[in-house]
Amino acid sequence: MKAAIISVGTELLFGQITNTNSVYLSQQLNTLGFDVMYHFTVGDNPARLRKMIETAYEDCSLVVTTGGLGPTQDDLTKETVTAALGDETILDSEALNRIKKAFAKMNREMSANNEKQAYLPSRAEIFYNDAGTAPGFALEDGGRTAICLPGPPREMKMMFERQAKPYLESRSDGKIRYRMIRTFGIGESSLETAVLDLIDGQTDPTLATYAKDGECALRVASKRATAEEASQAVDDMVELVKERVGGYVYSCDNEDLCEAVARKLIEENISISCAESCTGGLFAEMLTKTPGVSAVFDRGIVTYSNRSKTDELGVKESTLEKYGAVSVETAAEMARGLKAKTGSRLCVSITGIAGPGGGSAEKPAGTFCTCVIFDEKEELREVRHRNVDRNVNRNYFMLYMMNMVYRVIS
Amino acid sequence: MKAAIISVGTELLFGQITNTNSVYLSQQLNTLGFDVMYHFTVGDNPARLRKMIETAYEDCSLVVTTGGLGPTQDDLTKETVTAALGDETILDSEALNRIKKAFAKMNREMSANNEKQAYLPSRAEIFYNDAGTAPGFALEDGGRTAICLPGPPREMKMMFERQAKPYLESRSDGKIRYRMIRTFGIGESSLETAVLDLIDGQTDPTLATYAKDGECALRVASKRATAEEASQAVDDMVELVKERVGGYVYSCDNEDLCEAVARKLIEENISISCAESCTGGLFAEMLTKTPGVSAVFDRGIVTYSNRSKTDELGVKESTLEKYGAVSVETAAEMARGLKAKTGSRLCVSITGIAGPGGGSAEKPAGTFCTCVIFDEKEELREVRHRNVDRNVNRNYFMLYMMNMVYRVIS
């Protein structure tokens, strides 16, 4: 079934915000088996929105809108969609109650224009909003379906996940389940080659690869008569994929690498400290994004200057002179010094050249050395990453460290 | 004049990448005086692309496309736009030479399909690509103009800035100049109120406010007969705005706060070290994004555990017990300890509760304490930021610190 996504909001046309709703909805709709044909963005203007809705229905049977459901005069998505699908809005008492309650909870007066949000299409299935005040809905007319969701990403995602997705699934002739396998250290084309016969060999489950910021993901999706059958088919395929490329896999459930590492450290109560040079605190920062990591993360030392490497971590001046700040010898002394100082079970270090300057013929920008010590075990690596962008390099360096930590504690 | 932006690429419809090209082009076109009416995204499909082009020209006189200019069979934007505007493609020898040279430089064989990129609309003004191989172009037909740019953001931006923008300006009846004033510490509505008479009082220069990730920007744009007059009008207005809200301004030329701080530290050769708790390395990471900062950044210490605050910075156990880890007393001892240890002219510390857990009635999540020492001068603050999201809080904390540093060295 073909689908179009319409984003409503003048701020998008001014370039004031980035349209992340379309990215999320595209992924979700593709997974549910829809072919997304178009993204349209239009301002808070009923005539142009109507034009987009009609253009979309020329090819598509599903239109998903985001934005324009709020209480102000500008917010006209609901009215426009309702008219396009030949319905009219009526007061929904449940919606009104919920809006009243939300205002009472915030100790704020409910202004009259908020009542507008409780007028909803008479034939619609209403999606009450668990994260805000504006309700959404699904409305059908003949073979055409419209799903209207709020604009704020958090509200939109919660409503899609809890209400729009089950709605779409209930109208499907099967149940779709999927899992996202995340890998690090293998390129997209190598990943594809490794599973090519699985991709070519069958139509369900389907496999698709995605490259993203230095890593690769593989989506396995299945549509079967029941959710159990679809889940089983996906799980079986995930096992087959793991047999091929398991050494690169760090999550079969779409977990972020940094979160996966933080969660594992917390679960197994492994204390960790880090010493960073070229990544400038990025490793510590990514690790501490996960709540609760304070139970295991002791400290991070960003030793940017040579002096700080000596002061903080006991790196020998002779090592810096003989091998240079970017060397496996320096990385090893950084991690060992950190271990001696903190006693953390896991100590990790990195030193490198993020670029664009600072490289040499022997050690070009993109070179980094990293050391992981876990209890008595020590791993040491020198790696070259050829990207020219300083911050792309820094991100890759950090992911590489994160992955080494993941491997050593798995 | 009304404009539409068409992004071409099936990967956008799969949700594999976020459409940042539309954001950039919207900002640029608005600044040049265009009203952006639509964003369309369509796959590598000539029939649907043609439909989008025709839909756009119903309302708009300018269509800007990105993507689909490459060498493969899929890349059909050029052919589709050329046909829509009643032209045909011919071999452009300059384009061919450039593509040949690019391959020679990479020491790679030029495959035959790359020649396809040198066929360009016969009536077009060609935009040769300084950052890749695919040329772009501007093509007119009656009152309709199409500008076709490559998809990779770096190539697209360079071509827009160097070629498409001058092309559009040369067809305008005036010259447009603008500056972006960046502020921290003032909300969007307060900023707007402070300059409301300037906004309402005149039609040129125009002022527009933008809120973004904890800070606010104000764009001042002018269109005059000459570039000099437009620049002068913008500069005069920037001065008027600075008279009103100068205390919140950190850049009048759209510089990022973290970059502005790094640049100033480098220019004035001020050594800096930082001690972070709740921001987990984010301050150090943002500061070290700027190349060349190694000349002034000595070290960062991420003292996450209480023990590390004592070990690394000499924070007294009695202070932690009596006032807590999140207190101005602890923040002050952190910065003083860092100063004693490093001797950096500027030492900055932060301790706080990013949330969602860890708060109390007295010190809810979002509370942070920060201390800046610059030579003999010491500034100490306790602040509450009410956002519920851990990483929104962390980002705000970091910006707050960055802004304090900016103020103290300005």
Give A28's contacts in chain B (Cβ within 8 Å). Answer: 15
First to last CA, chain B: 42
A390 touches chain B (CB under 8 A): yes
Tell me the residue length of chain A. Answer: 410
Cβ contact, residue pair B342, A17, below 8 Å: no
State the DSSP code for A150.
-
B15 touches chain A (CB under 8 A): yes
B192 touches chain A (CB under 8 A): no
Structure tokens at B408: 């103290």
CA-to-CA distance for B331 and B339, rounded, in angstroms?
A: 12
Number of A/B CB contacts below 8 angstroms equals 210
Residue that has been written with the tokens 């679960």 in this structure: A267
Helix (H, G, I), strand (E, B) or coil at A48: helix
CA-to-CA distance for A21 and B15, rounded, in angstroms?
A: 10
CA-to-CA distance for A199 and A191, rounded, in angstroms?
A: 11
pLDDT band at A389 (very low <50, low <70, confident <90, very high): confident
Task: Tell me which residue of A358, A339, A355 sits closest to A347, measured CA to CA.
Answer: A339
**Side chain identity at B66, as an amino acid letter?**
T
Burial call A349-377: b when 16+ CB within 10 Å, e when fewer:
bbbbbbbeebbeeebebbbbbbbbbbeee
Crossing angle of helices B390-409 and B257-267, rounded to 10°: 30
Sign of the torsion angle spanned by Cα atoms B93, B94, B95, B96: positive
Q: Strands A144-149, A136-141: parallel, antiparallel or unpaired by DSSP?
A: antiparallel
Going through B107-252 in order, the beta strands assigned E by DSSP cover 119-121, 125-127, 136-141, 144-149, 175-183, 206-212, 215-224, 249-251
Q: Of chain A residues 317-356, which have a CB less than 8 A from chain B?
A: 341-342, 355-356
CB B145 within 8 A of CB B75: no
Query: Who among A40, A288, A304 is closest to B288 (CB)?
Result: A304
What is the model's pLDDT at position B114?
83
Residue that has been written with the tokens 């809108």 in this structure: A65
Going through A61-214 in order, the beta strands assigned E by DSSP cover 62-66, 89-91, 119-121, 125-127, 136-141, 144-149, 175-184, 206-212
Structure tokens at A338: 């950190």
Residue-wise pLDDT for A112-157, tens only, equals 788 889 999 999 999 999 888 899 999 999 999 999 999 989 899 9
Phi–psi pair at A176, nearest 5 degrees: -110, 135
User: Can you tell me the mean pLDDT for B300-311?
Assistant: 97
Give A24's contacts in chain B (Cβ within 8 Å). Answer: 15
Cβ contact, residue pair B18, A18, below 8 Å: yes
Residue that has been written with the tokens 């995204």 in this structure: B41
Q: What ipTM was assigned to the predicted interfaces of this complex?
A: 0.82
Structure tokens at B272: 């800096």
A283 touches chain B (CB under 8 A): yes
Cβ contact, residue pair A289, B18, below 8 Å: no
Residue-wise pLDDT for B144-181, tens only, equals 999 999 998 989 999 999 999 999 988 877 888 889 99
Q: Residue A161 pLDDT more than 90?
A: yes
Return the bridge partners of A149, or none: A66
Task: Tell me which residue of A342, A350, A364 sits closest to A395, measured CA to CA.
Answer: A350
Nearest CA in chain A to B353: A291
**Side chain identity at B46, as an amino acid letter?**
P
What is the model's pLDDT at position A236?
97
Residue that has been written with the tokens 């430089």 in this structure: B105
A54 touches chain B (CB under 8 A): no
A302 touches chain B (CB under 8 A): yes
Residue-wise pLDDT for A184-195, tens only, equals 998 877 888 899
Nearest-Cα distance to chain A for B170, in Å, is 23
DSSP calls for A1-43: -EEEEEEE-HHHHTTSS---HHHHHHHHHHHTT-EEEEEEEE-
Residue-wise pLDDT for B327-375, tens only, equals 999 999 999 999 999 999 999 999 999 988 888 989 999 999 999 999 9
Residue-wise pLDDT for B391-400, tens only, equals 889 999 999 9
Task: Tell me which residue of B83, B68, B24, A66 sits closest to B5, measured CA to CA.
Answer: B24
CA-to-CA distance for B177 and B234, rounded, in angstroms?
A: 7
Cβ contact, residue pair A356, B291, below 8 Å: yes
Tell me the residue length of chain B. Answer: 410
B388 touches chain A (CB under 8 A): no
What is the model's pLDDT at position A41?
98
Cβ contact, residue pair A291, B355, below 8 Å: yes
